[in-house]
Amino acid sequence: MKTKTTNVSLEAVRSGEKLTMLQALSLTVSLSIPAILAMLSSVVMQYIDASMVGRLGPEQSAAIGLVSSTTWLTGGICSAAGTGFTVLIAQRIGAKRDEAARTIMRHGLFGVLAFSSLIGLFCALISPYLPVWLGADASIRKDASAYFLVYALSLPALQTRYTAGGMLQCSGEMRVPGVMNTLMCLLDVIFNALLIFPSGTLRIPVLNLYLPGAGLGVAGAALGTALAQLVCAGGILYFLLFVSEKMRLRRNERGWMSGSELSLAVRLAIPVAFESMVTGGAQVVSTRIVSPLGNIALAANSFAVTAESLCYMPGYGIAAAATTLIGQSTGAGRKHLTRRLSWLSVFLGMAVMSLSGVLMYLFAPAMIGFLSPNPDIIRLGTRILRIEAFAEPMFAASIVTNGVLRGMGETLFPSFLNLFCMWAVRLTLAGYLAPRIGLRGVWIAMALDLTIRGLLFLLLLFVKQRKEMTNDKTRI
C-alpha cells in the first residue's frame, strides 16, 4: 500500500517496506521542503538584519561583518554539540527503540544547554577585545563589540532552538521547525524595527503611523535577533517535550543513557565540533585578510556572504532531510535503501543549488542592492557574488554528502576533509591573492575550495559505499 504522508512513509522505511524509485524521490522531497524552508527562514532573518543595519551606513555594516565570522565559529561549535544526540535519535527511532530515543533527548538537551552557557560566558568576556584582535578600524570597534556581546548572551537560546529542532527533524517531524523559524523571521522584523531605529512617523497613504523606537543601532539588531531566537526556541522546545508523538515526555520513563551511548554521542560530536572550530577559525582568518582592504570591502564581503546564503541554504535543508532518512534507514538495517537514498539526496541537492547559482548570477546586483544603497558596495558585492555562483553545484555535493555521512554515523573523515580544503586551499590562495587583486582574490579562492571539496566528498561517498558492498558480498 502506497503511503501519502511523510510520517507514514518513514514508518515504511522502519518496517522494511520496499520503496520504488518514485516513492524514494517523493519521500526525499517531502522531507526536504520543510527543512529547506526552515533553513531559508534563518537566512532571511540574517538578510533582514543586514538590510536594516545597511541603512545606517557602511561603518555599521562593517561592524557586523567584522564579527560575523566569529559568530559563525561559536554558533557552529554550539550546534555541533547536539549532532551526536540527533544522529543517535534518528538511528534509535529507525530501529523502533523510541524510549531509548527519548532518553537520549533528555540528556542531550541538558548537556548542550550547559555547554552553550559556558561558551556564551567566554564570548561575553572577550567581546571588548575581539575587534582589536581582528584588526578593525577604530570607527567600528564599539558597535562590533556591542553586537558580539548581545550575540554571546543569546547562545543558549540559539543552541536550544537548533538542537530541539534537530531532534524533531530526526524523529520525522519537519514541519514544526519550519513554522517556528518562519515566525522567528517575522518577530525579527518587528523587534529590529523597534530596537534599531529611533522613534518616528511612518507615512503611508491616508495614514501617518507613529512607531516607537529605542534607537540602539547595531546593538538593537543583535537584541532583536536574540529575542526572536528566544521565542522560537521556547516554541520548539515545548512541542518537542509535550506535543510530539514520538519524543514527548512520558511520566513512567526515568531511564539513563548508557555509558556506551553517551560515549558514541560524544565521539560523533567531537569531529563536528572540531570541524566547526577549524572552519570557523578559518573564517576569522579570512576576515583578518579582508580587513586591511577597507570598510567598503569588509561590508561588501559581509553582504555577499549573506546574499549567497540564500542560495546554499536549500542544500543544508536537503542535508538535514538526508540525515533523517539515512539515520533511520541505517537504524532499520536497510543497506540497499540507504545507498539509493544517499545518491538521490546528493543529486537532488546539486540540481537545486545549480538552479540557485544561476539565479544568484542573474540577480546579484539586486541582492546586494537590497542590503545596502552604497554604490561602491553594490558594485564590488556583485562582482564577488558572481564568482561564487559557479561553485554552487559542487558546494551542494559537499553539503548534502556530509549530511548523508552523518546519518550513517560517519563524522570523523568528513571533518578532516573540510579542514584540509579550508586551510590548504582557501586560506592559502586567499592570502596570496588578496594583496594582489583585492576582495576578488578571496572569493576566487573560496570558489576553488568549494569545487575541490565537492569532488572529494563525492569520491568519499563512492568509496565508502563500494567498500560496504564488497564487505556484504564477502560475508555471503
Concatenated DSSP letters for 117-178? HHHHHHHHHHTTTHHHHTT--GGGHHHHHHHHHHHHHTHHHHHHHHHHHHHHHHTT--HHHH
pLDDT of the residue at 7: 41
Coil, helix or strand at residue 203: strand
**Assigned C-alpha cell, 334:** 536497510
Provide the pLDDT for residue 8: 43
Q: What is the pLDDT of residue 356?
A: 93
> Which pTM value belongs to this model?
0.71
Question: What is the residue extent of each domain of the chain?
Answer: 6-475
Alpha carbon distance 196, 225 (integer Å): 11
Residue 426 per-residue DSSP state: I
Q: Give SS3 for 214.
A: strand
Q: Which residues of the chain have pLDDT under 50?
A: 1-8, 204
pLDDT score, position 1:
35
Closest CA to 81 of 288, 320, 277: 277
pLDDT at 10: 67
Residue 143 · residue 60 · CB < 8 Å: yes
Kindly tell me the sign of the dihedral angle through the C-alpha atoms of 145, 113, 83, 161.
negative
